[in-house]
Amino acid sequence: MARLVMKFGGTSVGTIERIKNVARKVKREVEAGNEVAVVVSAMSGETNKLVDFCNQISPLHDQREYDAVVATGEQVTTGLLAMALHAEGVKARSWQGWQVPINTDGAHGKARIMSIDTTAMAADMAAGTVAVVAGFQGVGPNRRLSTLGRGGSDTSAVALAAALGARQCDIYTDVDGVYTADPRIVTAARKLDKITYEEMLELASLGAKVLQTRSVEMAMNHRVRVQVLSSLVDKPGTMVVDEEEIVEKQIVSGVTYSSDEAKITLLRVADRPGVAAAIFGPLAEAGVNVDMIIQNIAEDGRHTDLTFTIGRADYERALDVLTREKASIGFEKMLHDKNVVKVSVVGVGMRSHTGVARRMFQTLAEKNINIQAITTSEIKVSVLIGADYTELAVRSLHSAFDLDAA
Ligand code: ASP
Ligand code: MG
Q: Name the nearest CA neighbour of 226 among 180, 192, 254.
A: 192
Q: How close is the Cα of 147 to the center of ligand 1, in Å?
A: 9
Q: How far is CA 166 from CA 36, 161, 213, 232, 352, in A?
A: 9, 5, 20, 24, 33
- Domain hosting 87: range is 3-174
Q: How far is the CA of 50 from the centre of ligand 1 (A)?
A: 11
How many structural domains compose the chain?
Answer: 1
- pLDDT value, residue 186: 95
CB within 6 Å of ligand 1 — which residues?
9-10, 41-42, 47, 73, 135-136, 150-154
Strand partners, 385: 341
Pocket test for ligand 1, best of 136, 137, 172 (most atoms within 8 A of CB): 136
* CATH assignment of the domain containing 164: 3.40.1160.10
Weakly modelled stretches of the chain, pLDDT under 50? none
CA–CA dist 77, 133 (Å, integer): 9
Query: Residue 226: its pLDDT value, please?
Result: 97
> What pLDDT, on the 0 to 100 scale, is given for residue 206?
85
The answer to whether residue 161 sits within a structural domain is yes
Model pLDDT for residues 187-217, shown as the tens digit of each residue: 999 999 999 999 999 998 887 788 999 999 9
Q: How far is the CA of 328 from the centre of ligand 2 (A)?
A: 43
pTM of the predicted structure, to 2 decimals: 0.87
Give CA–CA dist 118/160, Å, rounded. Answer: 8
Is residue 71 situated within a structural domain? Answer: yes
Ligand number with the minimum distance to the CA of 70: 1
Q: How far is CA 327 from CA 269, 286, 302, in A?
A: 11, 18, 17
pLDDT given for residue 365 in this prediction: 97
Q: Could you read off the pLDDT of 226-274 as tens digits, one per residue?
A: 999 999 999 999 999 998 888 777 789 999 999 989 999 999 998 888 8
Q: Which pLDDT belongs to residue 208?
A: 79
pLDDT for position 205: 83
pLDDT, residue 235, reads 93
